[in-house]
């Protein structure tokens, strides 16, 4: 069976009469809604100037001629600092590498 509810205690409440303070509140709410309805133009887009990057420098690549399939052995050598600096300067001024220079020098001396 369905339950029966007593609704006799529920009555419509009388509407409150608008007082001066509620009229003022209504005016404020209405002003807020009018301000929201006004169409505001969007701000103009910001244009950022991007500085152009200079063209990258071409990379200098030194190609070493290494015979194919030739076994290699790594050699570690301690050099005095001054000698190493001179060797490095020589290699740069002659556009070669220390490795290539040492290999050519050893081949020349040992042949």
Cβ–Cβ under 8 Å, residues 101 and 87: yes
Cβ–Cβ under 8 Å, residues 94 and 102: no
What burial class does residue 51 get, using C-beta atoms within 10 Å of its C-beta: 0-12 exposed, 13-18 middle, 19+ buried? Answer: exposed
Q: Is the pLDDT of residue 39 over 60?
A: no
Q: Indicate yes or no: pTM above 0.75.
A: no
What does the domain layout of the chain look like in residue ranges?
81-110
83 sits in which H/E element: helix 81-93
**In the predicted model, what is the mean pLDDT of residues 33-42?**
64
Distance CA 33, CA 22 (A): 16
* Pairwise pLDDT comparison (57 vs 14), residue with the higher score: 57
């Amino acid at each position: 069976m369905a339950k029966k509810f007593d609704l006799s205690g529920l009555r419509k409440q009388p509407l409150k009469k608008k007082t001066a303070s509620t009229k003022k509140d209504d005016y404020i709410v209405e002003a807020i809604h009018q301000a929201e309805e006004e169409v505001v133009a969007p701000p103009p887009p910001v244009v950022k100037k991007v500085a152009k990057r200079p063209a990258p420098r071409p990379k200098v690549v030194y190609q070493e001629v290494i015979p194919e399939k030739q076994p290699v052995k790594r050699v570690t050598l301690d050099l005095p600092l001054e000698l190493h600096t001179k060797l490095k300067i020589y290699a740069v001024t002659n556009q070669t590498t220390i490795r290539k220079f040492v290999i050519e020098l050893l081949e020349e001396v040992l042949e």
